[in-house]
Amino acid sequence: MTESTSTLLDVKDLTVEFATRRGIVRAVQNVDLTVGKGETVGIVGESGSGKSVTSYAVMRILDRAGRIADGAITFSGIDVRNASESEVRDLRGREISMVFQNPRAALNPIRKVGHQIEDVLLEHLQASPQDAKVKAIEALQKVRIARPDERYHAYPFELSGGMCQRVVIALALACRPQLLIADEPTTGLDVTTQKAVMDLIVELTRENGMSTILITHDLGLASAYCDRVVVMEKGKVVETAKSAQIFKSPQHAYTRKLMRSTPRIGANLRDLLPEDMPVPLTPAKKTAGGGASLLSVSNLVKEYPRQGVGGTLATLFRRKNEFPQSEVFRAVDGISFEIKRGESVGLVGESGCGKSTTSMMVMRLLDATSGHITFDGEDIAAIPAKSFAGLPLRKRIQMVFQDPTDSLNPRFTAARAIADPIYRLGGLRGRDAVRARCEELARQVGLPVELLDRFPHQLSGGQKARVGIARAIALKPELVILDEPTAALDVSVQAVVLNLLEDLKHSLGMSYLFVSHDLNVVRLLCDRVIVMRAGKIVEEGETEAVLSAPKTDYTRELLAAIPHPPL
């Protein structure tokens, strides 16, 4: 927003090399970056673009294999590259600090969060052992943590993801640094939490006149919160511009590609694909819900015994509430919905709302406490989860999982992974027949056939996602449950995978239950959407209707929390 008066950080011609088994890899090449006092700069790029490595180089916390090969880093007059380790250590945390992705892992799991803040304060002589506790509680208070004197004693696992990120921010800001580097600070958090965390960072940094570098893969986020945006691709800066400008007239082809593939209002699925990509055969047209009912869920309930309340707390809890009902937690609280043949239904909500539990029950991986799940006229809720896996019915419902890497057996080749359901339920006999089917499936999902003999670690994220999809459609299912299938993918890969899913749905006549927290993605793929909160359905209807004219406050809140690129 403000014209930078003086430069705080100046990175010139930075090159970072990593020694790997296959020789030296240049993760960052000739990068120039300046951050003015009080300025917020966004570094945007997909995985492997070198955006995180650049920031690690600035703090000199590259791991053993990495080294700054060339260039200069100047931070308020200090030559960071050539400074001694102890000088740099004084800078870290006191002048430059960092907020990381995955806040829970970023905190020491077995140390009280208050003590972790104290460690930093004491290290930089910002507190004496006598007043460290008071100052740590103050720091927690600043990041708007309720009851900070209680939270001081909490361990990271006792706090929610958003709360942990607040603690990490408190840790980073405890010594009032001049520069905050936020590395994907909100990835993995719910949209509303994301908004709260970002607003907090902006507010606190502005309050203290700090500069910020926001590293993100999300163009919308960068444009909403940054003064300037630096776009990186494969270790190089391809474009630097004011954020308003970059969205109005992106200069570089890569920037345009990134922008195209970001799901946004007003774009349909095909718009996401790169300009030079061949147009798919079927136009993306949403089917009107007119088919026969395939799945119908009624009054579905899943209860869990209350857990995770510590010994003394649990007894306190028991004394206060004498009702036995308080002993159980309703993860899914009497929901009913229907999926028609050929229809895509989106199930959205924040983490803990019960959407994954619902999908697990429909998949019959989890037994429902009560209620009915009718699949093609048969009540499958009555079948115990254990025996469902062997039934012929199991073929007709399949699932695609969130993490394409973790959901593949690392010792199975792609072909073996795809063939797995065929061996178990497919009834195909003979090595050649199965192989032929695998190749056919690979072609269907756009996976090059020669990649079939590779292991998961030899495949890219997008290729692994395709293997997961091929495995799910191997038995020609009628219902596929997609559990955030693109959450771990880069936007450009996500665009391609979403299009693939849409094409497959039409060519194979499947129905989708699409579980997601990303409303923009749901908007693109789903005919109808169900919004869940605290185990209940709060809103349900045609996607366009719900997302353009939400009826409940909660849906409005969810929509408002999404950062949109100004288009």
Partner 1 sequence: MLRQIGKRLATAIPSLIGVIIVTFLLTRVLPGDPAAYFAGPAASPQAIEEIRKSLGLDKSLPEQFVRYVQDLSRGDFGKSLTTGQTVIIDIKTRLPASAELTLLGLIVSMLIAVPFGILAAVKQGSIIDHACRVIATAGVSLPVFFTGLLLVYVFYFILGWSPAPLGRLDAFASAPKHVTGFYLIDSLLAGNLESFRASLAQLALPTITLAIFSLAPITRMTRASMLAVLSSDFVRTARASGLSPRTVIVTYAFRNAMLPVVTTLGMVFSFLLGANVLVEKVFAWPGIGSYAIEALIASDFAPVQGFVLTMAIMYVLLNLTIDMLYGVIDPRVRLEG
Instruction: Give me the residues that bind partner 1 (CB under 8 A), please.
Output: 59, 61, 63-64, 89-94, 97-98, 100, 102, 105-111, 119-120, 123-124, 155, 157, 168, 171-172, 308, 310-311
Question: Which CB, 287 or 405, lies closer to partner 1?
Answer: 405
- Beta carbon of residue 217, minimum distance to partner 1 (angstroms, whole number): 18
Reduce the DSSP state of residue 196 to 3 states and report it: helix
Counting Cα atoms < 13 Å in the Cβ hemisphere of 139 gives 29
Instruction: Give the pair of three-digit tokens for residue 340.
Output: 């028609």
User: What number of other Cβ atoms are within 10 A of residue 56's Cβ?
Assistant: 19
Strands 179-183 and 96-99: parallel
Question: Which CB, 170 or 475, lies closer to partner 1?
Answer: 170
Question: Which CB, 197 or 524, lies closer to partner 1?
Answer: 197
Cβ neighbours of residue 58 under 8 Å, at least 6 residues apart?
9, 11, 73, 75, 80, 96, 181
DSSP class of 524: H
Question: Which CB, 182 or 459, lies closer to partner 1?
Answer: 182
- Beta carbon of residue 89, minimum distance to partner 1 (angstroms, whole number): 5
Question: Which CB, 378 or 406, lies closer to partner 1?
Answer: 406
User: What number of other Cβ atoms are within 10 A of residue 514's Cβ?
Assistant: 24
User: What number of other Cβ atoms are within 10 A of residue 547's Cβ?
Assistant: 22
Counting Cα atoms < 13 Å in the Cβ hemisphere of 157 gives 7
In 3D space, the residue among 284, 314, 288 whose CA is nearest the CA of residue 505 turns out to be 284
- Beta carbon of residue 109, minimum distance to partner 1 (angstroms, whole number): 7
DSSP class of 92: B
- Beta carbon of residue 371, minimum distance to partner 1 (angstroms, whole number): 30
In 3D space, the residue among 150, 130, 215, 141 whose CA is nearest the CA of residue 174 turns out to be 141
Amino acid at 223: S
- Beta carbon of residue 228, minimum distance to partner 1 (angstroms, whole number): 23
Question: Which CB, 90 or 518, lies closer to partner 1?
Answer: 90
Question: Which CB, 56 or 225, lies closer to partner 1?
Answer: 56
Question: Which CB, 62 or 383, lies closer to partner 1?
Answer: 62
Structural contact between residues 41 and 230, judged by C-beta atoms closer than 8 angstroms: yes
User: What number of other Cβ atoms are within 10 A of residue 316's Cβ?
Assistant: 12
User: What number of other Cβ atoms are within 10 A of residue 470's Cβ?
Assistant: 26
